[in-house]
Structure 1
Amino acid sequence: MTNWRAVIIGFLVELVLGIIGFVIPVLGHAAAGLIGGFVAGYLAGGGLGRGGWHGLLAGALGGVILGALVLVGGSLVGGIAGGPLGFIAGLGIGVGSIIIALLLAIPSGIAGAIGGAVA
């Protein structure tokens, strides 16, 4: 069963460190995902699989939320500005951003597996 407390705390760690990460653009954001995933996995405990699952969820949560906002906003703006083709383009950009966000959550999952093993 998923420990949503661990996922939310891991997500919040990623969010705060991601905001701070603007000082060191690439390294700061990469470290935010890894540390947040580790925290989620550590709090969930239970070994590699359980920690990895919670780290993956923590890493994907922010990306999916952002992707959903891009999906809705891009579709609306595209539909208003470009008609049906603009709507489809905005929809495609939103779906693409969700897929990319899920792929970028993989490092958080790996760090979560390490955190789960350490706990």
Structure 2
Amino acid sequence: MFGRAARSTNKFVQRERDRIRKAEEIADMTAELDTIKSVRLKAEFECLGLAVYEKALTGRERTKQREMELWNTSLTLVRREALRSLLEQERQLHIRELSKIDLAIYQQRT
């Protein structure tokens, strides 16, 4: 009986060791999964923050681009008006010079 009891005790001890080993493996896997989960959540949070930052940056770039387009348009209008004014001044000067020598510019009736 001693051998059979020893074998039973050995099986019991072996089963207990296997159970403890499996519990430790499960605990290790759980810890590893928790680590992976926390890293993944952190990465997702950082990506979300980066996406928000990129979206804001894109919005600012679009705003700058639109402002530059408007600025260029207004600059073109100002230059056009300045050129029109300069041409009108030169035309008036030319008319005065012609009137001094008793000549006139032919103006078509409209």
* Larger relative contact order (Cα-Cα within 8 Å, sequence gap ≥ 6): 1
TM-score w.r.t. structure 1 length?
0.28
Which has the larger Rg? 2
